[in-house]
Structure 1
Amino acid sequence: MSTEDSLTQAETVIIGAGAVGCSVAYHLTELGAEDIAVVDQGPLPITGGSSTHAPGIMFQTSPSKIQTKTAHYTSRLLKDAGAYTEVGGIELARSEERMDFLRRRVEWAESYGLPKPQLLEPEEVTEHLPLINEDEILGGYYSPTDGRVDSTEALTWYMQASDADFFGNTEVTDIEISGGEVQSVVTDKGRIECERCVLATNNWAYQTGQMAGLDLPITPVEHQYVVTEALEELPRDRTPRGDATAGLDIPSDKAITESMSQPPDRPVGRDQDNSLYFRTHGDGYGLGSYNHESLVVDPDEMGKNSDESQASVHSFTEEHWTKATHPNRDKSPEQAFSELLPATVDKEFRVTENGIFVYTPDGMPVIGETASVEGLWTGLAIWWTHSSGYGRILAEWMETGVPRLPSGPVDTSGIHVRRFEPHAGGKDYFTDRGAKRYEQVYSIVEPRWQPEEHRGLRVSPFYQQQLDLGAECYQSGGWETPQWYEYNEELVSKYEDQIPEQVGWQGVNRSPIEAVEHLHTRENVSMFDMTTFSSIMVEGENAGEFLQHICSNDMDIEPGQVRYTTMLNKGGTIIADLTVVRLGENEYMVTTGGGNSPGIHGSWIEEHAPDTVSVTVEESSKCTLGLWGPDSRLLLQRVTDADVSNEGFPYFSSKQMYVGDVPVIALRVSYVGELGWELWAPSEYGQKLWTTLWEAGQDLDIRPMGGGALESMRLEKGFRLWGTDIGTDVNPLVAGLPFAVDLETDFIGKEALVESKEDGLDKQIACLTLDDSTDIMLSGRPVKKDGDTIGHVQAGGYGYSIDESIVYTYLPSTYAKAGTSVTVTCEGERYDATVRDEPLFDPERNKIIR
């Protein structure tokens, strides 16, 4: 830890010396990085940020694999450092719905490797937590390795264990950018030239992002926490208050930091039915509440430490404690705690705070290098619970190019800083969405839940036509995307014998119309709106050589050919799966999925392109229709003069042609396993394209088809979905995509891929079907063999054409062989399943190639 007062140069400057900044610095130096400076506007180690006003409670279990993995890594690292108290964590149920939720917690914990998760009866809960009113609860979920981090101890340890230099009381006033690259960090003590900069500023993320010209969608929100006076029911021989921060410079009143330094001596607890949590602080109880309306702080108004307060702590607002202000909770925090912990009734508080921390629009962290500024990295919207894990991932990403934990590469699709859509930086948008995430933090959120606010932001040219057909739209990347169409409800009676009923959690927000759209497409012809997918134009004399450099398949294709490929990072894991179309001698169109794909995939291609190659990410300039089904050729031939016969327009080829009056780039590809085409056209022609096909196909019973049918059809064919089945945690060989790799060519990631192949694959993707059930399996649920968890559900759905429930998972190679019997646990039920050869539907591809 440095004692210098100033610095003029460093290879890496980390802004923020809280949990994340210190973790990144520590892990960078562990990986051999040198010349690292960490600066913070507050004193060290108590900076006045959220890291040191937080109570440090760590519940590790999450429906998100990466959140669970990073939490467990954090708990192990900080336990070894002596800064983590492993007392266990108990989540309570006061309703049957919550008990169902706790069963899911057990399943997620088993899937993601947390040790010994278990459900508890009420009397077992009170054995651990004797002050709980047993009559108020139905049971609990116990994770024995949960606990609490001592923030002061952890930050001090990081600083002492790291070779980085730390500078407190140093305010950053600007980040200088030139030529799209970081040049320096300007502070009130001078300018620090650097090659890399990491934003680890959490509550101040929006402000520091603005210094670099970024609109980071990160919302500060107030959160209430109190510590009671001494309780008679708690022994007095607890850790004393008043000496944990001796000799340290503490912004404002030391009471908060002192209280947070006291370790709990029994499990930490949560009452999520009332948005509450709690732990002991010596002879008092700490009570935390999300049970109030969202108290959003203007991200431009996050201030500095003063003599009166820490920068990220606001005054306690008693009305949010004594009144029921949460839109989805009937009881106030005071009432709910009085019922659950009667010993706290009428007790005074020796510490109170409205502490500030942050939320993103989707509730997930913001990690990675920004697209617009080279060398500017982010480690934001991260709590203590996950801080060491994400610090390790970010450090690995910066140093090796491969985001990973010691257990292996991780999937970054849901945490990447580049995942946000263009409108996400609007302050009204991201503060409203951040407020909603705060409101939901302890709520039971239904599968496929959809927000009501900020809808209709991005619509395809077909949107009005879709609404006229009764489209039920979901939001994806801001786009309104039809999931199914009420227009097709009339087909339900026709196919009802082929549509198993889905009950309980598996059936929430599903419609039988999704099934009939699937079955109708297999028999007739349907149109699917693919406008959320993006085209990326790659042009120039060296375009072909460049694509060969970034693509794993052989890109030596002729004009008019189409090729499927993956794009890999240096570690050989999958950044994207792409379709590449050669339009002309030096002109290619690369297509990728919707959602966060344009920002992540498009920017990767842009930043790797040489000056001789032009890359244009066409996120919205083209609209796209998928025309699929046995009658698709008959319909398409009616509206074009081009030859669309199998001989004249073979599978995986393309043509630039007209559909009626509309110029299109037509690709003979299909994501549903049927004869069909993707039709790409300039957006202004979209309505005409839809009308032309719709009117010409009436006698063929043409129908619109939504995303629900697409998902079940692609699972039957085993087509992969980036961010679900494949991502930066697997390579294409493990993912069953060897046909997308040509090791005779040279590409980014080849060396790692060859090494993986030579070492042998220790796991592989596997397709399962349930032996005797039609229930749909949900993601994140454990797959077991002889009682041991060997994998988890990556994707599940029902195959209406094959009449079987389908699961995709990754299994140890020994078990990933057809015929292996396994079990899947979902919603407390155990299902027998069998590994199958894929694809399950039309393995000879007779339907596609005809």
Structure 2
Amino acid sequence: MSSTPETRPNGPQVVIIGAGIVGCSLADELTARGWTDVTVLEQGPLPAPGGSTSHAPGLVFQTSPSRTLTALARYTVEKFASLRADGIPCFNQVGGLELATTQERLTDLHRKAGYAAAWGIRGEVVSPARCKELWPLIDESVVLGGFHTPDDGLARALLAARAQLERASGRGALFLDRHTVTGIEKENGRVTAVVTDQGVFPADHVVSAAGFWGPVIGRMAGVDVPLQPLAHQYARTRPLADLQDHEAEATRPILRFQDRDLYFREHTDRIGIGSYAHRPLPVDPFAILPYDEARARNMDMPSSFPFTTEDWAPSWDDCRRLIPALRETEVEEGFNGVFSFTPDGMPVLGETRQLRGFWLAEAVWVTHSAGVAKAVAEWMVDGRPSLDLHECDLTRFEDAQRSPSFVRERGSQQFVEVYDVLHPLQPMEQPRPLRVSPFYARQQQLGARFLEGGGWERPHWYEANAPLVDAMDPLPERDAWSARYWSPIAAAEAKATREKVALYDMTPLRRLEVTGPGALDFLSRMTTNNLRKKPGAVTYTLLLDETGGVRSDLTVARLAPDRFQVGANSPADLDWLTRHAPEGVQIRDITSGTCCIGVWGPLARDLVQPLTRDDFSHEGFGYFRAKQTHLGHVPVTAMRLSYVGELGWELYTTADLGLRLWDTLWEAGSDLGVVAAGRSAFNSLRLEKGYRAWGVDMTDEHNPYEAGIGFAVRTDKEFLGRAALEDAPVTRRLTPLLLDEPAAVVLGKEPVYVDGAPAGYVTSASYGYTLGRCVAYAWLPAGLTTGTGVHIEYFGEKVPATVAEEPLFDPKMTRIRR
């Protein structure tokens, strides 16, 4: 009797496609965990097969606005620093230095220093004189300051790949070069083998780590890989007299001149220069040549395209202005190297829904390679990564964001913006509008200011409400950064919601329909709260993983004995539920075919009740209840919920009737002073009530008790993750903070200091217009008590704040339950 993959002594059969830095790192991480039946297939020659790894300049800057990317980079540094090949270290920890030549960039470097402190990376903003000490060749007179990170440095990517290849081989992994993948075999929705020009390789798991060839491999598997390869210029100078005495490969920090989209590194007596300043140069992954054909056409490797001198000329002038010594030399050699970009600039990781056992580890740069490999190996072996990867999860893209045109356009824009100073609310410019609610025309008429998320146009405020600002007390003046993508109109809309009634477009919130005779048992098993209630009940509940981490929070409405509407967060929720659904339970995403308006405020009942014969009184329509009714001519599913802390309902109907619903509510509310309100006011109101946002305030790295949502857990029932909660530690808590100064504002991701030392970081923040203070939620040590003073670092300034007791607004819930 043959053993199953789970019982084989060497683990399941794994085939990794691609022996670049990601494939080699993953083979090392898998074999270290006991999965040693690993075969790595590479179409080019080893050890330099010709992909992005073979030409990568190796710069590793760890600090990022993304906590996840920073953690992935930190592990890469730690691992590569421990590796040697041929006696040569695989990481040269020369440090990093980012220069500011504009005031905007210098301000941004202070913000980046805050990220570093929040995520545990050593770094400091330094003076121009210190920049000159670190890099004597620069013209100090053009520099306003810099950000120095001593633990960053240069990864020797090919050496690191070879060191891990040798370790993995020593544990039993097999590396085969000159094997071109020609097909992926599958059966009953699972991958079974990889077909190459040299034979067939059976597999329980296949990982595509093919880099910019990822879309080619994905097509063989019937999987779309949202990745756009682009060429990026890199040049080396002739020897410089100032570097003649250098014997080491590099001694100075890796250097970024982001105001001109440039970076620099030493190559002994030469300088290597990379540029993102040129026009995007997208490359068709299906047209990239195989290794031998590329060589036959005088290309060093498939990923190395001819240098386009016309794109280089402006950057060369900028280089010589920053480093005068370059005026005495010329570029000796250059190439346009191909790298992978995604629509949001993040990697694409995880097991595909279309084909079980087929994994992606794509769009990964050397900077994050070992960290990604560790996370994916944990995911495969243990069932989950130890690090929150929702920003990288391949399910994150909506169907509307997967077209080749979308991927090409936004991937190219990511290239353009790679060194830009980007605001956290700044939307991509094109292609827009892509997804609009049925109310879009009315929103435009009201002067909506739209931002974008998940492809949706989302109103953040409405210019039509500008006159309401005149009737308010003046707001504290905002700094230039927090004033971007903000308007005092948001305060007026929040005030109108608290005092009268407002309409909120909630259409982008994901809606799933779960049906079938086993739907109740299934949802009860998958979630933490009690769903065994009569039809008409609505329940806030959680999706946990096996370790008790919060995968998502859901609002589940039981509309009929075997039919549920589930308010979810992301495509990952649909994927998770679908993976676990038994036969007979159907799960369908109904978001695009439906729409939703939130009607909230003390006059919400006055607006809605005259439109229906059903009883919308508190006694007739209680909180967390649902009714299927009509408002005017429109059939709706009404749920008495409130994410803003006021009386009201979420009103759902089909997309074709959405505009009629809006007009019906607008006309009925005209005498009540109804306003349309945007997400800026919405975010302020929800933080005053302490309502969490999954993916921002909490992820699967946190358990419900740490996140302050333990009230949604019923331990008297069985559910996925329950056993892990019995011993779940609470060493940290999602903690509400009120900034002490009325004019102070933070935006999120800032470090929080307790007793002068970094102790956590802000997740969500917004000015609380009802409270007259900025509200911030932060992950901090569990022992902090109400009234404890802390400091939040905002652009280098320490802003005082105080631990508060939640909810900050209407703690007795009298406004919602009336």
Q: Is TM more than 0.5 here?
A: yes
Which residue in 2 is equivalent to 1:786?
755
1:837 aligned onto 2:805 = yes
Which residue in 2 is equivalent to 1:190?
199
Which residue in 2 is equivalent to 1:21?
23
Q: In the TM superposition, what are the counterparts of 1:396-795 in structure 2 within 5 Å?
A: 396-404=378-386, 410-497=387-474, 499-593=475-569, 597=570, 599-756=571-728, 760-795=729-764
Which residue in 1 is equivalent to 2:8?
none
Which residue in 1 is equivalent to 2:792?
824
2:106 to 99, 104, 107: 99
Matches of 1:644 and 1:427, distance apart in 2: 48
Is the Cα–Cα contact under 8 Å of residues 476 and 742 in structure 2 kept in the other structure?
no
Deviates more, 1:442-451 or 1:432-441: 442-451
Deviation at 1:154, TM superposition (A): 0.1
Aligned partner letter, 1:213: G
Deviation at 1:644, TM superposition (A): 0.7
**Secondary structure of 2:472's aligned partner:** helix
Q: Deviations over 1:495-542 (max 9, x none)?
A: 243x33222211112111111111101111111111111221111221
Q: In the TM superposition, what are the counterparts of 1:52-67 in structure 2 within 5 Å?
A: 52-67=54-69
1:799 aligned onto 2:768 = yes
Is the Cα–Cα contact under 8 Å of residues 122 and 134 in structure 1 kept in the other structure?
yes
Matches of 1:460 and 1:210, distance apart in 2: 32
Matches of 2:781 and 2:615, distance apart in 1: 47
Is the Cα–Cα contact under 8 Å of residues 235 and 274 in structure 2 kept in the other structure?
yes
* Percent identity of equivalent pairs: 41
Is the Cα–Cα contact under 8 Å of residues 10 and 193 in structure 1 kept in the other structure?
no
**Secondary structure of 1:495's aligned partner:** coil
Is the Cα–Cα contact under 8 Å of residues 24 and 162 in structure 2 kept in the other structure?
no
Is the Cα–Cα contact under 8 Å of residues 447 and 509 in structure 1 kept in the other structure?
no
**Secondary structure of 2:741's aligned partner:** coil
Matches of 2:338 and 2:416, distance apart in 1: 14
Matches of 2:473 and 2:410, distance apart in 1: 39
Deviation at 1:335, TM superposition (A): 0.5
Structure 2 residues not aligned, in runs of 5+? 1-10, 84-88
Deviation at 1:282, TM superposition (A): 1.1
1:113 aligned onto 2:120 = yes
Matches of 2:787 and 2:126, distance apart in 1: 36
Aligned partner letter, 1:146: D
Matches of 2:661 and 2:36, distance apart in 1: 57
**Secondary structure of 2:419's aligned partner:** coil
Q: In the TM superposition, what are the counterparts of 1:37-52 in structure 2 within 5 Å?
A: 37-52=39-54
Matches of 2:129 and 2:651, distance apart in 1: 62
**Secondary structure of 2:235's aligned partner:** strand
Deviation at 1:102, TM superposition (A): 1.0
Matches of 1:562 and 1:352, distance apart in 2: 62
Deviation at 1:346, TM superposition (A): 4.6
Matches of 2:53 and 2:525, distance apart in 1: 43
Cα distance change on mapping 1:122 and 1:198 into 2, 3 Å:
same
Which residue in 2 is equivalent to 1:312?
303
**Secondary structure of 2:498's aligned partner:** helix
1:278 aligned onto 2:272 = no
Deviation at 1:423, TM superposition (A): 2.1
Deviation at 1:214, TM superposition (A): 2.2
Q: Deviations over 1:663-707 (max 9, x none)?
A: 111111110000011111111111111111111111001111111
Aligned partner letter, 1:286: G
Matches of 2:27 and 2:783, distance apart in 1: 39
Matches of 1:840 and 1:297, distance apart in 2: 52
2:371 to 378, 386, 389: 389
Structure 1 residues not aligned, in runs of 5+? 1-8, 240-262, 323-331, 405-409
Which residue in 1 is equivalent to 2:4?
none
Matches of 2:130 and 2:344, distance apart in 1: 35
Deviates more, 1:644-653 or 1:155-164: 155-164
1:132 aligned onto 2:138 = yes
Is the Cα–Cα contact under 8 Å of residues 17 and 40 in structure 1 kept in the other structure?
yes
Matches of 2:465 and 2:61, distance apart in 1: 45
Matches of 2:360 and 2:510, distance apart in 1: 25
1:288 to 266, 271, 274: 274
Normalising by structure 1, we get a TM-score of 0.92
Matches of 1:570 and 1:131, distance apart in 2: 54
1:34 aligned onto 2:6 = no
Matches of 1:831 and 1:90, distance apart in 2: 26
Cα distance change on mapping 1:496 and 1:372 into 2, 3 Å:
farther
Matches of 2:51 and 2:308, distance apart in 1: 20
1:374 to 356, 361, 378: 356
Aligned partner letter, 1:30: A
Matches of 1:36 and 1:745, distance apart in 2: 40
**Secondary structure of 1:266's aligned partner:** coil
Matches of 1:177 and 1:574, distance apart in 2: 33
Is the Cα–Cα contact under 8 Å of residues 236 and 282 in structure 1 kept in the other structure?
no
Q: In the TM superposition, what are the counterparts of 1:186-265 in structure 2 within 5 Å?
A: 186-239=195-248, 263-265=249-251
Is the Cα–Cα contact under 8 Å of residues 21 and 158 in structure 2 kept in the other structure?
no
Q: Deviations over 1:319-371 (max 9, x none)?
A: 1111xxxxxxxxx1111111111222252434311101011111111111122
Matches of 1:800 and 1:48, distance apart in 2: 56
1:141 aligned onto 2:163 = no
Matches of 1:588 and 1:772, distance apart in 2: 46
Is the Cα–Cα contact under 8 Å of residues 549 and 748 in structure 1 kept in the other structure?
yes
Is the Cα–Cα contact under 8 Å of residues 198 and 379 in structure 1 kept in the other structure?
yes
Aligned partner letter, 1:788: A
Matches of 2:22 and 2:280, distance apart in 1: 24
Q: Deviations over 1:381-400 (max 9, x none)?
A: 11111111111111111221
Which residue in 1 is equivalent to 2:782?
813
Normalising by structure 2, we get a TM-score of 0.95
Is the Cα–Cα contact under 8 Å of residues 635 and 693 in structure 1 kept in the other structure?
yes
Aligned partner letter, 1:551: T
Aligned partner letter, 2:430: E
Aligned partner letter, 2:67: K
1:360 aligned onto 2:360 = no
Is the Cα–Cα contact under 8 Å of residues 368 and 417 in structure 1 kept in the other structure?
yes
Deviates more, 1:101-110 or 1:157-166: 157-166
1:179 aligned onto 2:188 = yes
Matches of 1:197 and 1:456, distance apart in 2: 37
Matches of 1:563 and 1:500, distance apart in 2: 39
Is the Cα–Cα contact under 8 Å of residues 10 and 192 in structure 1 kept in the other structure?
no
Matches of 1:10 and 1:65, distance apart in 2: 32
Is the Cα–Cα contact under 8 Å of residues 15 and 40 in structure 2 kept in the other structure?
yes
Deviation at 1:380, TM superposition (A): 1.1
Aligned partner letter, 2:431: H
Matches of 2:156 and 2:546, distance apart in 1: 36
Q: Deviations over 1:417-474 (max 9, x none)?
A: 0010112222221111111111111111134212222112111111111111111111
